[in-house]
């Protein structure tokens, strides 16, 4: 799938990895629909990329359907990049007792349900689009190395990202008849706004645990991996760990 000239929908595009993906794809000629729960953040990314701003909750069926319809006004959506997500740190049984069920449910709702919701809506749209060569579209979901190496306090986050990993193969198999590919990138520890708030000494300590290169990931490197997933026509149902060979310790 060619990025140049393609209409691409990026969720979580208001900040972090999603914003990096939106900028990267726009610089390579894509028309980007920047979707984020934060309307101002989505608008800022849209201004920077010359694209469209969309504000909605990715896990809201009606709101997401409306956002997809608006994005499609610019032409057939050829790629979806799901970057919207939240993190949390809480033990299943902590000092205050059992984790509130609502805390677990919130993470699953945004990360897993939200990714599935956007995928189902965009895949339905793509299935009715004209073929471009031998395919109709590409979907890239964002997981995490926590799906494989979840740490203490990451049960909810790891479960949500593990679900995203598990969706890749069955979704790719189902969408094959439409000419739609599904891939997943599982990033390690990247220099996002959240990590930038930490003291430099703490960031250096985290980076030292990464084998090579011994540094935090650059969001631009994540964006490059996403573009590879979109453009590589034989890449399908794959989960790519992008982590500098790190394996997260228990704590």
DSSP string of the chain?
---TT-EEEEETTTSHHHHHHHHHHHHTT-EEEEEESSHHHHHHHHHHHT-EEEE--TT-HHHHHHHHHHHGGGS-EEEEEE---------SEETTEEPPHHHHHHHIIIIIIHHHHHHHHHHHHHHTSPPBTTBSEEEEEE--THHHHPPTT-HHHHHHHHHHHHHHHHHHHHHGGGTEEEEEEEE-SB--HHHHTS-HHHHHHHHTT-SSS-SPBPHHHHHHHHHHHHH-TT--S-EEEESTT------
Q: Output phi, psi for 242, to 5 deg.
A: -120, 85
pLDDT in tens, 172-208: 999 999 999 999 999 999 998 767 766 787 678 888 8
What is the distance between the terminal CA atoms of the chain, rounded to a whole angstrom? 40
> Tokens 């033990």 — which residue?
91
CATH code for 7-242?
Answer: 3.40.50.720
Tell me the pLDDT tens digit for each residue of 102-137. Answer: 999 999 999 999 999 999 999 999 999 999 999 999
Write out pLDDT tens, residues 163-175: 999 999 999 999 9
- Residue 66 pLDDT > 70, yes or no? yes
Query: Among this protein's residues, is 157 annotated catalytic?
Result: yes
As a whole-number percent, the residues of the chain with pLDDT over 90 amount to 90
Look at residue 197 in the predicted model and tell me its pLDDT.
Answer: 60
Cβ neighbours, 10 Å, residue 58: 26
Across the chain, mean pLDDT equals 95
Residue 58 confidence (pLDDT) above 80 = yes
Catalytic residue among 157, 175, 190, 222: 157
Residue with tokens 């201004």: 47
**How many CB atoms are located within 10 Å of the residue 41 CB?**
20
What are the domain boundaries of the chain?
7-242
């Amino acid at each position: 799938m060619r990025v140049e000239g393609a209409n691409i929908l990026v969720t979580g595009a208001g900040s972090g990895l999603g914003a990096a993906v939106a900028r990267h794809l726009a610089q390579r000629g894509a028309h980007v629909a920047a979707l984020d729960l934060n309307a101002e953040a989505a608008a800022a990314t849209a201004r920077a990329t010359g694209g469209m701003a969309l504000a909605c909750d990715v896990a809201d069926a009606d709101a997401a359907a409306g956002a997809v319809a608006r994005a499609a006004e610019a032409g057939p959506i050829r790629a979806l990049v799901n970057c919207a997500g939240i993190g949390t740190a809480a033990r299943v049984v902590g000092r205050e007792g059992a984790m509130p069920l609502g805390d677990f449910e919130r993470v699953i709702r945004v990360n897993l349900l939200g990714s599935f919701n956007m995928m189902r809506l965009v895949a339905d749209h793509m299935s009715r689009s004209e073929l471009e060569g031998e395919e109709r579209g590409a979907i890239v979901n964002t997981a995490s190395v926590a799906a494989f190496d979840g740490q203490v306090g990451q049960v909810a986050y790891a479960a949500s990202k593990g679900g995203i990993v598990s969706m890749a193969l069955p979704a790719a198999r189902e969408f094959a008849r439409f000419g739609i590919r599904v891939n997943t990138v599982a990033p390690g520890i990247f220099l996002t706004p959240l990590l930038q708030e930490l003291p430099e000494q703490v960031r250096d300590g985290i980076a030292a645990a990464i084998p090579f290169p011994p540094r935090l990931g650059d969001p631009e490197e994540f964006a490059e991996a996403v573009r590879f997933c979109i453009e590589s026509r034989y890449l399908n149902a794959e989960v790519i760990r992008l982590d500098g060979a790190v394996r997260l310790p228990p704590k």
